[in-house]
Amino acid sequence: MIFIMAWRNIWRNKMRSIVIILSIAIGLFAGIAVLALYKGMMKSRVRTVIDAEVGHLQIHDTSFKKDYEPQFVISNGADLLKNISSMPEVKLAAPRSITNGMLATATGSSGVQINGVIPALEYEASQLKKKIIEGNEFYPAKKNEVIVGKKLAGKMKLKVGSKLVLTFTDTSGNIVSGAFRVAAVYQSDNAPLDERNVYVTMNDMNALLGISNAFHELVVLLKNDEDVKTVQQTLRKKFPAYQIETWREISPETDLLVKTVDQYSYIIMVIIMLALAFGIINTMLMAILERTREIGMMMALGTNKIRIFSLVLMETIFLTLAGTPVGILIGWLAANYYNRRGLNLSGMGREMMSSFGFNPLIYPEFPADKLMGVLLIVVITAIVSCLFPAMKALKLQPVEALRL
Amino acid sequence: MNTVIDAHNISKVYNPETIPVYAVNNVHLHLERGEFTALVGPSGSGKTTLLNMIGGLDKPDGGNIFINGNDITKLSANELIDFRLKNIGFVFQSFNLIPVLTAKENVEFIMQLQKIKQSERDERIKQLFQQIGLEDKLNERPSKLSGGQQQRVAVARALASKPQFVLADEPTANLDTKSASNLLDIMAKLNKEENITFLFSTHDQRVIDRARRVITLVDGRIVKDTAVVSTEHKEAATIR
Ligand SMILES: Nc1ncnc2c1ncn2[C@@H]1O[C@H](COP(=O)(O)OP(=O)(O)OP(=O)(O)O)[C@@H](O)[C@H]1O
Ligand SMILES: [Mg+2]
């Protein structure tokens, strides 16, 4: 009976209840929208890290990553490449020769990481070809072509066709340098990376380094994201001499970012609910105040405090939960709509987004995995918000309430 | 005959520190089972205060109240809630019913609180609504009932638990003459046929005329306690 009373009581002041139910629906929608946006951003960030930056796995000589010294190569590169490329889980393996060096023009110089790549493989592994915004891909017949990032090009005043000199040490410690011509300028979603990385062909690079049939890094792309751990284990067994890392280990900041953002999204949800709690408390207080005589009468007749409390609690929970399905539904519809269409946030500034490594076109995704957490927060909000109004109700003295 | 209410020397003082108001002043009251008694007196004479204390809604500042031999002045607030639920039927002047519940649900609610079984409830509700003549209004909300009908439902609810006695504070104050007399008919009938004890306060002479005993309060003291030996003779005997 208390249950029926609670439900009907909500509809006594329809306008007021609808306002609070709607605000909960909107608050929940806002929360879900933020979660969906975050989820979309994180997914796209992870995709970028895997598809355009580090790949699923990378293989290096165990000493290479300490100082990027050129002598720590993976020798017998061709065999390894063939071996790994033929694994069933592997979509693609792309080798890179890497060294740190100096890029110099007539007007200035800048420290860069020089990546010697096999163009056809690199275009697949890091989408290099797609990132080109000016100029053309490596022209097979030409030697000493370089592709530079937009940020670096701007800083060094480089254009397609500009000449520059790359200087670095070879495997025996001699300083070598080569004159290169800018073939293209690229831009990725990650501006800091663009500023550091330049690409040349592995042939040109290995010739200067003095190595052959060897490279420093092998990027492995898998067919399925889920296979990362198992393939890593298989490779570790097969090639114990090499350092084999997953993208999480290579880019721990991405992993951390995803985890931090997960926590933030709950915090945002709690803040939204906290704001709503005041509205709920206010509504319930008004409802109790209006019904002072009625509650006094119920107590006079012998309704005990537990029942009065459950009445207030249930009313609050109904009031809170009534808006929940609506909010979740709108959130779900909006998330799905933009998931298909994509949400362009370049209004916030492409520069800003890309300095954090994000693509401004986001595909929000309904945070189904967080739904239980969100519901829990909503229910806790209801319970907490009912406490104060319930205390007010329980403090009523029947004699005084009835005299009013 | 057995005693239902035995109030000894009870008092209630408001504002004891500033200007003390003796709402009820050293009152003795004794009620036997089956009485049909009116409490009368001018406004502010202490009728409501006295009824509230007897009903366990308010605590006297002095004296003891025995209901069926139990001293309710010794009970805690929570014990009193339970005591009221099990022993006393209430009919208030107005705003008796829970507006979101139907007439039937209002009566059933109290019976549920008393943990009466469903089958027993249904039977009792049927019987009670017959007695108050509202069998056809079972599923109406209070707002759809007239003031008189609402008070009749309140009487039905007061009786639902078969209480020791029913306290009614000016039950007819908001009713027109016809409804008032109708309510009194029902109360008198229940009193006669089921031996239910009624104690009600009133200003209305026509209601007073129906009582079999009339207690008059002035300034918190009982100044007159008249038993009407029989309604035919209307022969009054002054006890005090
Ligand atoms: N809470 C209170 N604080 C102070 N004085 C009170 C309080 N309640 C009642 N009184 C006083 O106690 C006296 C008795 O009041 P009570 O309500 O019992 O009278 P009553 O006989 O029921 O009057 P009425 O016929 O108007 O209902 C009055 O003088 C009233 O002013
Ligand atoms: Mg009164």
The CB of B216 under 6 Å from ligand 1? The reply is no
Q: What is the ipTM of this complex?
A: 0.92
pLDDT at A351: 72
The CB of B42 under 6 Å from ligand 1? The reply is no
Give the integer Cα–Cα distance in Å for A318 and A323.
9
pLDDT at A85: 93
pLDDT at A369: 86
pLDDT at B232: 45
Tens-place pLDDT, residues B60-108? 999 999 999 999 999 999 999 999 999 999 999 887 899 999 999 999 9
Q: How far is the CA of B169 from the centre of ligand 2 (A)?
A: 7
Return the domain boundaries, chain B: 3-238
Tens-place pLDDT, residues B172-190? 998 999 999 999 999 999 9
How is residue A317 written in tokens? Answer: 């929970």
State the closest ligand 1 atom to the C-alpha of B51, by its place in the atom list counted from 1.
18
Q: How far is CA B51 from the centre of its chain?
A: 8
Confidence check: pLDDT of B236 > 60: no
The CB of B44 under 6 Å from ligand 1? The reply is yes
- B116 reaches A (C-beta below 8 A): no
- Average pLDDT score, chain A: 91
Q: A269: which residues sit within 8 A by CB, 6+ positions away? A: A31, A34, A35, A373, A374, A377
Return the domain boundaries, chain A: 2-49+254-403, 67-75+93-219
Question: DSSP per residue over A188-242, as a string?
Answer: -S-HHHHHHEEEEEHHHHHHHHT--S-BSEEEEEES-GGGHHHHHHHHHHH-TTE
- The amino acid present at A299, given as its one-letter code, is M
Question: Span B48-60, mean pLDDT?
Answer: 95
Tens-place pLDDT, residues B119-161? 999 999 999 999 999 999 999 999 999 999 999 999 999 999 8
- B98 reaches A (C-beta below 8 A): yes
pLDDT tier for residue B238 given thresholds of 50, 70 and 90:
very low
pLDDT at B1: 59
Q: How far is CA A259 from the centre of its chain?
A: 9
Q: Which of A2, A5, A298, A301 to mutate to test the interface with B (most CBs of B within 10 A)?
A: A301
pLDDT at A228: 93
Nearest CA to ligand 1 atom 29: B44
**Count of CA atoms in the C-beta half-sphere (13 A) of B73:** 18
Q: Which of B100, B139, B151 to mutate to test the interface with A (most CBs of A within 10 A)?
A: B100
Q: Which residues of B touch A292 (CB under 8 A)?
A: none
Ligand nearest to the CA of B42: 1
Q: Is the domain covering B3-238 a CATH 3.40.50.450 domain?
A: no
Ligand nearest to the CA of B203: 1
Give the integer Cα–Cα distance in Å for B5 and B232.
27
Residue segments in chain A with a per-residue pLDDT below the cut of 50:
none
Radius of gyration of chain A (CA): 31
Neighbours of B236 (CB within 10 A): 13
Question: DSSP per residue over A132-191, as a string?
Answer: EEEE-S--TT-SSEEEEEHHHHHHHT--TT-EEEEEEE-TTS-EEEEEEEEEEEE--S-H
Q: How far is CA B134 from CA B151, B189, B231, in A?
A: 11, 15, 28
The CB of B173 under 6 Å from ligand 1? The reply is no
